[in-house]
Amino acid sequence: MEAVLFFVAAIGALGGAIGVIAMRNPFYGVLALIVHLFSLAVLFLLLTAAFVAAAQVVVYAGAVMVLYVFVVAYVGGGAESAWEPIPGQRFLAPLLGTALFVELAIAVLASSLLALGHDGPHVNPGFGDPAAIGYLLLEKFLIPFEASSMLLMLAAVGALVLAGHRDGARGGASAGTPREREPDEAPPLAPTGDPA
C-alpha cells in the first residue's frame, strides 16, 4: 500500500515538474506546479511529516500559487523569443541536467550510509505532528523562528518598494491615484503572513 502511494505520488511530482519546464504557457506551468506540490504533500505524509504536509498545501498550493496566478494574469503569458544567445543551449541544458542527476544519485547511493536502505527507525505516533513541531519551533529554535518572521516582513516591504507605483512619473501625478488602488501588492502581504 505504501509502495503504491509512493509511486503514484512520485509520478505526480515528476510529471508536475516536467510540466513546469515543458509548458509554453506560464499559466499551465503554474497549474503543473500545483499538481507537483500536492504530490509532494503526499510524500511528506508518507514520511510522517504531517505538519510540513499541511503547511505545504496551505502555504504553497494555497497562498503562493494564488500569487503566481495573479502575476501571470497581470503580466500575461507571452511566447518566448526564438533568439538564442548561446548556440546549442537547447541541447546542452538536458545534457547538463542529466549529468547533475547522475552525479547526485552517485553521491547518494555510494555514500555507504547503511540507514539509507531501511525504512527508518520506528517512531512514536506523535512524530511530526503540529504539537511536536510547535514545541521545537518555540523552545529550541525560537531565534531562527523570529528571524524568519523578520525576513518575511523585509520581503513584504521590499516587494512594495520594488513593485510600488514609483513609476507613476510616466503617467503623471493624475495617474497615481487610481493606480494606488490597483497594484497587486495586497496579495504578497496576505500569504506571507501565513507561513510563520
Partner 1 sequence: MSIEWYVVLSALLFATGAMGILLRRSPIVILLCLELMLNAGNLALVAFSRMVGNQQGQVFALVVMVVAACEVVVGLGLIVAIFRRKLPLDVDELRELRG
Cell 509511486 locates to 7
Give the shortest CB-172-to-partner 1 separation in angstroms.
Answer: 15
- Type of residue at 107: A
Q: Is 127 exposed, middle or buried (0-12, 13-18, 19+ CB in 10 A)?
A: middle
Residue 73 within binding range of partner 1, rule CB under 8 A: no
Closest by alpha carbon to 124, among 58, 194, 48, 40?
Answer: 48
> Which residues within the stretch 101-140 sit at the binding site for partner 1 (CB under 8 A)?
101, 104-105, 108-109, 115-121, 123, 127-128, 132-133, 136-137, 140
- Choosing from 57, 62, 68, 175, the residue that interacts with partner 1 (CB under 8 A) is 68
Q: Tell me the chain's radius of gyration from C-alpha atoms.
A: 22
Residue 35 within binding range of partner 1, rule CB under 8 A: no
Residue 18 within binding range of partner 1, rule CB under 8 A: yes
Cell 529554535 locates to 141
Residue 67 within binding range of partner 1, rule CB under 8 A: yes
Residue 47 within binding range of partner 1, rule CB under 8 A: yes
Contact 86, 92 (CB under 8 A): yes
Torsion angle, CA of 8/14/15/18, rounded to 10 degrees?
180
Q: Cβ closer to partner 1: 117 or 178? A: 117
**∠ CA(26), CA(53), CA(190), 5° rounding?**
60
Residue 69 within binding range of partner 1, rule CB under 8 A: no
Residue 28 within binding range of partner 1, rule CB under 8 A: no
Residue 8 within binding range of partner 1, rule CB under 8 A: no
> Which residues within the stretch 140-159 sit at the binding site for partner 1 (CB under 8 A)?
140-141, 144, 148, 151-152, 154-156, 158-159
Q: Whats the size of the chain, residue-wise?
A: 196
